[in-house]
Structure 1
């Protein structure tokens, strides 16, 4: 039987720091233990050995996905050429609405009747109306890797400038820096905001009103993706070590570290069922964990399309959507 390591760590110099040097060498920074760190990436998938579960919709290579239960919309970012495909969640067989965007999308999120599409290669965040139509553009100097709506604010993680920026009405109102090597993903839940730093393989709290990066905590050996759950935590995939990590956000503490071998990478959360879905790219699988208890409990495991880098879930129906990064389609699974 696999066992989790359930941890409650006090603030300690070796693991929890604030305002450290933003150098990318190790130096005297005990949070980052690797010289010249390199961000972890998804493990390369083999050819599928079994037929993917559920239904597979034809699609170009998928770079990001997000589902919105309120608007009944599934957004799928594809390349060749770059676009966001908008599917009706209740009309699975219908053709999606295609909205062109100016470059490859890294992350998608929903907010205020639109889809935010982060395009780091073009220094922009595209805003796509959920009903289709021409995408707007928010110019962000540098490499905007992720963007989320937070009330009247749009929070943008800017990778190369190691910052979280705050926009209101399309205008920059605040740049928050300090202690980051890279800003790769921003997670906002309630009054709390956390930024994921893939180079340092760490998570940091963000004091948005105060304009400061707060304490940071190491997130395994190669953190790649993160999502908020319903219990005041941020769940993180540690791709290098093969683990699912759970951090409380107030205070920032590592609460759970559960082994998930097989190249864990993508992650999505179903708030209605307290279910975290993670993809295993080494195995072409997606696994559903009930995370409401003291450790994750595996409830589902399905074979997927090749290179399942992206996953999202419709919280109303529980359907899981998996995107192939090699162009083998969008998979729809009803657990």
Structure 2
């Protein structure tokens, strides 16, 4: 696949898992598997920053995940040392946050119904944290790597069981599996649901109502993170391949590919400006791309704190918040 400096339209129907197409790179007839013993991609290690970070920096221990909620004006930050979720007021980030202890390292955070969902794979639980800081644990067998709200339920990606659990209240009511090597992230785009499989470096459609994993597509050479945009697409960072990918969801097709050198990893989306923000851990940078047109337009590029693995956006103000995985703080940038 040839990469160029612009978006490349990719109608890769032949990459559909259910298409019956064949590939010389597949192992055992599997068009999506590219090596015999796949290893999930990870963030590139950052060098010592050569440039001071843009904006302001709020002190924090190593950040493992971040999420914002525009309605409650809350920034949730998962940190280690000790393992906690910090709840900041977005309108006063200098104020001391509420600290909610958790049982282990949080891999992903999201908001659903005014609550924070914190996936803790090492402990087999998803924590629900209310705006008052009260936390309750939902036991999920295996390694829950991500949790998102969906029509009153919670969808939990369970990495080691290669499945997505549907949780109603505190009870797993349905388990959806088949064709996955690892379930690492669930992304909701309108009425469509996709699952990111880091080990297989692929995305799969998910039919929640019927409890089925649908068609799947290769997502570059080492997909790591994903986010929905405003145009019915899911944007994916291909860390190993150095690219930003865009998938339509109905039907599931790889529509666009854009090379992004520098260790692309974290991703967030600002719907008010249609900007996709990606972190480059090899360069300690965060870059904002306008994705409204036929090809992305780089609008912003800022130096960041070291090891910028996490990024999120305050939708009301378009501020970009970047978390350092090495304990150098939470960076606040107003583009």
What TM-score range do you get, normalising by the shorter chain? over 0.9
Q: Is the 8 A contact 2:138 2:170 kept in 1?
A: yes
Q: Post-superposition shift, 1:9?
A: 2.4
Q: Is the 8 A contact 1:243 1:257 kept in 2?
A: yes
Mean CA deviation greater in 256-265 or 185-194: 185-194
Residues 99-118 of structure 1 correspond to what in structure 2 (within 5 A)? 99-118=100-119
Between the aligned partners of 2:64 and 2:106, the Cα distance in structure 1 is: 6
The CA deviation string for residues 257-305 of structure 1, in whole angstroms up to 9 with x for no partner, is 0010000000001111111100000000000001111111110000000
Residues 109-188 of structure 1 correspond to what in structure 2 (within 5 A)? 109-133=110-134, 135-188=135-188
Q: Post-superposition shift, 1:147?
A: 0.2
The CA deviation string for residues 192-247 of structure 1, in whole angstroms up to 9 with x for no partner, is 00000001100000000010000000000000000001111000000011100000
TM-score, length-scaled by structure 1: 0.96
Q: Is the 8 A contact 1:285 1:303 kept in 2?
A: yes
Distance 1:245-1:150 versus aligned 2 partners, 3 A rule: same
Residue 78 of structure 1: aligned partner: 79
Which of 1, 6, 13 is the aligned partner of 1:3? 6
The CA deviation string for residues 129-179 of structure 1, in whole angstroms up to 9 with x for no partner, is 12323x100000000000000121100000000001101111111100010
Between the aligned partners of 1:144 and 1:286, the Cα distance in structure 2 is: 28
Structure 2 regions of 5+ residues with no counterpart? 21-25
Q: Post-superposition shift, 1:187?
A: 0.3
The aligned length equals: 327
TM-score, length-scaled by structure 2: 0.96
1:295 aligns with 2:290: no
Please give the root-mean-square deviation of Cα atoms over the aligned residues, in Å: 1.3
Residue 273 of structure 2: aligned partner: 273
Between the aligned partners of 2:240 and 2:185, the Cα distance in structure 1 is: 18
Determine helix, strand or coil for the equivalent of 2:247. strand
